Amino acid sequence: MSMLEIEKLNVWFGHGRDRVDAVKDASFTVARGESFGLVGESGSGKSTILRAISGLAPLWSGRMVVDGLALGKVRPKTFYKTVQMVFQDPYASLHPRHSVDQVLGETLQLHGFKDIDARVVKLLDDVGLGQKFRFRYPHQLSGGQRQRVAIARALAPQPALLLLDEPTSALDVSVQAEILNLLVDLRREHALTYVMVSHDLSVVGHMCERLAVMKGGEIVEVMGVDTLRRMEAKHPYSQSLLAASV
């Protein structure tokens, strides 16, 4: 069974004359345990697809199925045990007045876990921080450390599918590789499925088995990462993206 099925997805913002069609007729599937990339220039609709899956973009039509569950306009609570999202900006995604312990503890409590203390420690170990960071606040952390906390928060409900929205683009280049390698390790250790948005083809080549290329809200091509590495894209826009990345 596929972990994710997207069929003829349309996402828009506004109504009437103010309507903007952000995603048009997008279709793809992601196998259980696969890492799938969405690439394209800014405004191509790739992040909007993640927001639609997660329930943050309410105006949509088409079919979305996650782990056998067909999604409606309202997500059941159980959905968020299966699907979690890691956002682009670790500075904005953490509450500035909540300690790491509060961030993780409240998330665990929300999802009905009892052994909060042990789980907080385990989550911090899993993302390479350790207990010494438990009672620190976001302003006491570097960008990379904040993103590790955001990843730990996403892992707290023990999801099967992680939506990764440019998870390293706001970080220093020296830190980006560390976070990407952490994500590779976590996927293997926790049998996770990833859908990853990136404008960086080298990141997608490192992280993903397959990818969809988006332009103007449409998926113009789906290819394997081997095709990407061999520079053998078929669509002219995909070819231009590859050429620009060399």
Over the stretch 103-124, which tens digit does the pLDDT of each residue have? 999 999 999 999 999 999 999 9
pLDDT of residue 38: 98
What's the confidence (pLDDT) of residue 79? 95
Per-domain residue ranges of the chain = 2-245
Domain 2-245 CATH class label: alpha beta
Q: Does pTM surpass 0.75?
A: yes
d(Cα 62, Cα 66) in Å, to the nearest integer?
14
CA distance 141 to 152: 14
17 vs 36: CA distance, rounded Å = 34
pLDDT over 80 at 246, yes or no: no
Q: What is the pLDDT of residue 237?
A: 94
Q: How far apart are CA 30 and CA 119, in angstroms?
A: 29
Which strands, in side-by-side order, build the sheet including 2-13?
A: 20-31, 2-13, 60-66, 69-70
| Residue 194 CB neighbours (<10 A) | 24
Per-residue model confidence as pLDDT tens digits over 8-21:
999 999 999 999 99
| Per-residue pLDDT at 173 | 87
Q: Is the pLDDT of residue 186 over 90?
A: yes
Window from 29-38, 113-122, 162-171, 188-197 with minimum mean pLDDT: 162-171
Residue 135 CB-density burial (10 A; 0-12 exposed, 13-18 middle, 19+ buried): exposed
User: Average pLDDT in the 189-208 region?
Assistant: 94
Mean pLDDT of the region 3-11? 98
Q: What number of residues does the chain have?
A: 246
Confidence of residue 93 (pLDDT cuts 50, 70, 90): confident
